[in-house]
Structure 1
Amino acid sequence: MEEDRASVRSAINPNPLTSAANSALWSLQGHSSGHPVNSSPAALPQNIFTNPAIQPSSVINLSNSSDVVIGPMTQYQGPVTIYQYMDATVEARSMQAGGGINQNRTTENTSILQKLSTSSKLLILLIVVVVIVAGVIIYIEIEQNNRKPDPGPILFGNSYEHGTFPNLGNGHLVIDRDQWGASELAKNLKIPLKHPIPYVLITHIGVQSKPCENVYRCSIKMRTIQDSAIAEKNLPDIQANFYVGDDGNIYVGRGWDYANTYANDTLAVTFMGDYGRYEPNEKQLEAAQYLLAHAVTNKYIDLAYKLVAQNQTKVTKSPGANVYRHIKTWYHFYPCGMDDHPRCGVELGLPDVWDGKM
């Protein structure tokens, strides 16, 4: 029987090395057959597993098989090693399938996180916008509550409409109290001026005061005059009704409606400087004349008003020799208190010396 099996193996594989390898492969039998593998160790031939020089002529892939017998049922006694080879293509497909599922799940989770993140950002942005808008509204309300009442517009034109205080013409502007920065410490004035006013009184600052040549410096001078009147002279406000700057502009003092500190029934117009030392310029003199023309047109002063200098009403150098020299040539100048003329204001019952403090 052994000889027959040997001959069969020789017939199939005449090469003795290949025959020995095939003998080893044919001897493998599935365990499900129930036959033990018996063989004598001494008679174990060289095979592909014990001899590295021997390589199989072919490779057989088995799957889902049982009771498989390859070649003659030669039984071996001794250890048998079985190698299992997995199809790499099947494994790769399995890994790709698993990876695709994980990738889809990862993408879906990332999309949800992105959506949540965007919603959170929009919510935070909305909250910030609401807070900012609320803050702006509160700030505007506070500013409106603290804002002073609008003193009214200054009209820059050559019209003389009643109830307005326009540009007096020819570039002579009117600088109102709020514009030059009048102090809030000024008290309410109580003595009104009755219109039309019969007298216009011309004065100057004096005491070596240098004329101011622009709005900035004239505004500072106005604040200084007002502070001195309130703090040092204990007056409720600045002294005169209007002030004439060297810049050719008119600065509002007590205005049209309240009495000055010199005398009732007079409109006091003060030149801002010491005009015993300095000469008034042409635009300053013109600004004063434009102011008086505006007053006549709006019936603040009498059509036949009397223009007098302060040195005609009391012993003083005001309004300075240089200003006095000019106003004596003006049409409404009244020479009261000079030569044989009666004293100023006698017809109105004004005192001998115009030195009131109000």
Structure 2
Amino acid sequence: MSPCSRSIISQNLLQLNHPFPTCDIGQGRRHLDSSLFSGSSSVSVNDSLCYKMSFFKFLFVAAIVSNATFIEGYSLSNLDIVTRDEWQARPPKLVEPMPNPVPYVIIHHSYQPAACYTPKACIKAMQSMQRFHQDDRGWNDIGYSFGVGGDNRAYTGRGWSAVGAHSPHYNNRSIGICVIGDWTEKLPPTSQLQTIKELIDYGVQKGMIQPNYMLLGHRQVRDTECPGDALFNEIKTWPHWIPSPPNEDVQVENVNSGANAVLL
């Protein structure tokens, strides 16, 4: 279980210590009898109201729990994955299927565009990267599987099951996550880092990423400064990071897709 794991119902999700007025039921009135809602005088009006309030409090809690997705012991109810339609992505020129689950997750930074902290700015950043990759580089689509913005949302790029264009020789067996911004000298906000972790754990839970996946920074698979010194030093502390990829046969990739792309 990763360090970010917490109890199944996080305290932030269910801070219900004082969401409703408290009820002080006397020592002799703690048993709810069958006449509670019948109008019988055996239960006081105050106690009847108190029991009803407790019942509605229970329903409120149950509603929150029913809408939460639990992965590795903590709630992912706040994970917001933005679809391609929602950020108004262009259609891909071609989609090459990638089998799941994949063994690698590779972390990038965009460098440019700069960090974004609102949905509007992050959508603009995703559109800018796709336009550059398709028009200037001639690739099929934006190179990354996902982008993660400072608005704490994950943006669908090529998605879980399409060959990417972000890390030569790993594009057909990895999920490439671009952390939007330049993270050479400073770290992304804690909430943005948490979104990356939750996205990865969601991929594991959905069978898109192997449970024993290996985490790498882009600089570990090609000559580049990506994902920036600060971010790279951060991911080196995460449980699945490995110092170097295992010695494996080089995977043949379709160059026309941008699969053997050189990303700075």
- TM-score tier after normalising by the smaller chain length: 0.5 to 0.7
Query: What does residue 53 of structure 1 align with?
Result: none
User: How far is 1:278 from its partner?
Assistant: 4.0
The 5-angstrom pairing of residues 112-127 of structure 1 reads none
Question: Is the contact made by 2:69 and 2:77 (CA closer than 8 Å) also made in structure 1?
Answer: no
Letter in 2 for 1:241: S
Retained in 2: the 8 A contact 1:175–1:252?
Answer: yes
* Alignment partner, residue 157 of structure 2: 253
Match of 1:177, SS state, is coil
Partner of 1:96: none
Ranges in structure 1 where 5+ consecutive residues have no aligned partner: 1-155, 162-167, 337-343
Runs of 4+ in 1 over 2 A off after TM superposition: 156-161, 168-172, 344-351
Kindly provide the CA deviation profile for residues 21-50 of structure 1, in whole angstroms up to 9, marking residues without a partner as x. xxxxxxxxxxxxxxxxxxxxxxxxxxxxxx
Cα pair 2:79 2:199 within 8 Å, conserved: no
Matched, 1:224 2:131: no
Q: How far, CA to CA, are the matches of 1:277 and 1:224 in structure 2?
A: 23
Q: Equivalent residue for 1:171? A: 78
- Does structure 2 retain, via aligned residues, the 8 Å contact 1:157–1:169? no
Partner of 2:203: 295
Q: Following the alignment from structure 1 to structure 2, what is the Cα–Cα distance between the partners of residues 230 and 173?
A: 26
RMSD: 2.4
Q: Which runs of 5 or more structure 2 residues have no equivalent in the other structure? A: 1-65, 253-257
Residues of 2 paired with 1:305 and 1:280: CA distance? 23
Partner SS state of residue 255, structure 1: coil
Instruction: Give 1 or 2: higher strand fraction.
Output: 2
Task: Confirm whether residue 198 of structure 1 aligns to residue 103 of structure 2.
Answer: yes
Q: Is the 8 A contact 2:70 2:76 kept in 1?
A: no
Aligned residues of 1:241 and 1:268 also touching (Cα < 8 A): yes
Cα distance in 2 for partners of 1:345, 1:241 equals 22
Moved more, 170-179 or 280-289: 170-179
Give me the whole-angstrom Cα distance separating, in 2, the residues matched to 1:278 and 1:172: 24
TM-score for the superposition, normalised by structure 1: 0.48
Q: Distance in 2 between matches of 1:346 and 1:243?
A: 28
Structure-2 separation of matches of 1:238 and 1:160: 30
Report Cα offsets for 1:299-357 as digits up to 9, x if no partner: 11111100000111111110011111111011100110xxxxxxx25325348xx9714
- Secondary structure of the 2:85 match is helix
Q: Aligned pair in 2 of structure 1 residues 180, 298: CA closer, same or farther (>3 Å)? A: same
Distance 1:181 1:308 in 2: 29
SS of the equivalent of 1:294 reads helix
Deviations, residues 42-69 of structure 1 (Å, cap 9, x unaligned) = xxxxxxxxxxxxxxxxxxxxxxxxxxxx
2:68 counterpart letter in structure 1: N
Distance verdict in 2 for CA 1:183–1:315, change over 3 Å: same
Alignment of 1:124-273 (within 5 A): 157-159=67-69, 169=76, 171-184=78-91, 186-190=92-96, 192-207=97-112, 209-261=113-165, 262=167, 263-273=171-181
Per-residue Cα deviation, 1:191-248 (whole angstroms, up to 9, x for no partner): x2111101111111114x3200011110011111111111100001000001110111
Deviation at 1:170, TM superposition (A): 5.4
State the shift of 1:169 in Å: 2.2
Shift of the alpha carbon at 1:287?
Answer: 0.3
Q: Distance in 2 between matches of 1:345 and 1:177?
A: 33
